[in-house]
Amino acid sequence: MFRPLRHLCSLCLLLASGVSAAAGPPQRIVSINLCTDQLLMALVEPERIVSLSILSLDEHAAYRRPDPNQVHINDALPEEVIPLQPDLILSGAYTNRRAAELLKQLGYPVEIFTPVESLDGLRDNLRRMARLVGEEARGESLLAVMDERLAAASADLDPGAVRPSAAVYLPRGYSSGEQTLQGEALRAAGFRNAATDAGLTSYGSLPLEDLLYTRPDLLISSDYAPGTASLADRHLQHPVLRKLTNERPMAKVPYKLWICAGPWIAEAVEILADAREGLK
């Protein structure tokens, strides 16, 4: 009995969203995913952002954090998002899949961003976001600045010389191969990725013995939840890791610089390039 009524509502919403889309760039943007939060904040002025996900308040995961008094913070629940009357909803591909699907079914314009593992993918995602929110020029300038910084970081590299090797080593032995964001950052900073020697192409756990055989010159880690204790953290304090690099401490790159793909990866590359300088 209610079916025609429901269809009518969906139709109305569709028309409404269609009408506002035709009127210009979206004015009421909602993001329910950490990485789309970050890209959005980089491109769009706060007045057009209606809601961001709760992870954007996490000081270790979020590169840029909003003022919770100025913007609504959501837990990615459709019942929170709908009353905000969004004209664009941004979501990641893996988390909150059902929420995104439901919102799409209800007729809202939902754009899904897949996490990328390369600099090219980063540029594609940024350009796509910039197009959606009507800030193409801003997007291009952000990319231009990023490319400048990346070039500067590897400017002193001698193309013929052997690159020093480094391995990302996180709690529980997690490391990153070439086809990851961290792998790209390592390469851009002038390192050879030691994890590749151990046979790792993407993300994965590297047993201690395998890591030792690759003999990296430098170990890189990211502090997640610093100041807490666990077996995983204890594993990272294994004395052999220090002996492996001749007592050289691990280089620390904040998680928030490479957990989401965005122009801020240049900062990670700069930290790594400095670490490479320190090796000489």
Partner 1 sequence: MSARDVPQHKLLIGLSLLVLALGIVSLMIGRNPLPLIEAAMEAFDDSASTAALILSEIRLPRALIAAIVGASLGLAGAVMQGMLRNPLASPGLVGSSSGAAFGAVMALYFGFEAVFALALPVGGMLGSLGAMGLVVLLAGRNAGVTTLILAGVAINSMALAMISLALNLAPSPYAMREMVMWMLGSVADRSMRDFWVLLGPTLLGWLLLAGSGRALDALTLGEDTAHTLGINIRRLRWRLFLGVSLTVGAAVSIAGSIAFIGLVVPHLLRPMVGHQPGRLLTVSALGGAALLLLADIGVRLFPAGTDIKVGVLTSLVGAPFFLYLILKTRRSSL
User: Is residue 94 near partner 1 by the rule CB under 8 A?
Assistant: no
Member of 4, 83, 160, 227 binding partner 1 (CB under 8 A): 227
Member of 46, 68, 207, 249 binding partner 1 (CB under 8 A): 207
Residue 213 CB, nearest approach to partner 1 (Å): 6
- Which SS3 state, helix, strand or coil, does residue 125 take? helix
State the number of binding residues for partner 1 (CB under 8 A).
26
User: Is residue 137 near partner 1 by the rule CB under 8 A?
Assistant: no
Phi, psi of 121 (to 5 degrees): -60, -40
Residue 3 CB, nearest approach to partner 1 (Å): 44
- The Cα–Cα gap between 63 and 39 comes to 10
Which residues from 244-273 bind partner 1, rule CB under 8 A? Answer: 244, 246
Residue 261 near residue 122 (C-beta atoms within 8 A): yes
- Residue (of 190, 243, 237, 188) closest to 215 by Cα position: 243
Question: What residue spans of the chain are helical by DSSP H?
Answer: 3-22, 34-43, 78-81, 97-105, 119-133, 136-153, 181-188, 194-197, 208-214, 231-236, 239-244, 265-279
User: Is residue 208 near partner 1 by the rule CB under 8 A?
Assistant: yes
Q: Per CB under 8 A, which region of 102-110, 157-165, 187-195, 207-215 contacts partner 1?
A: 207-215
Cβ-based nearer residue to partner 1, 45 or 209: 209
- The Cα–Cα gap between 278 and 280 comes to 6
User: Is residue 197 near partner 1 by the rule CB under 8 A?
Assistant: no
Q: Exposed/middle/buried for 115, CB within 10 Å: 0-12, 13-18, 19+?
A: middle
User: Is residue 194 near partner 1 by the rule CB under 8 A?
Assistant: no
Residue 252 CB, nearest approach to partner 1 (Å): 17
User: Is residue 161 near partner 1 by the rule CB under 8 A?
Assistant: no
Which residues here bind partner 1, judged by CB under 8 A? 171-172, 207-210, 212-213, 215, 224-225, 227-235, 238-240, 243-244, 246
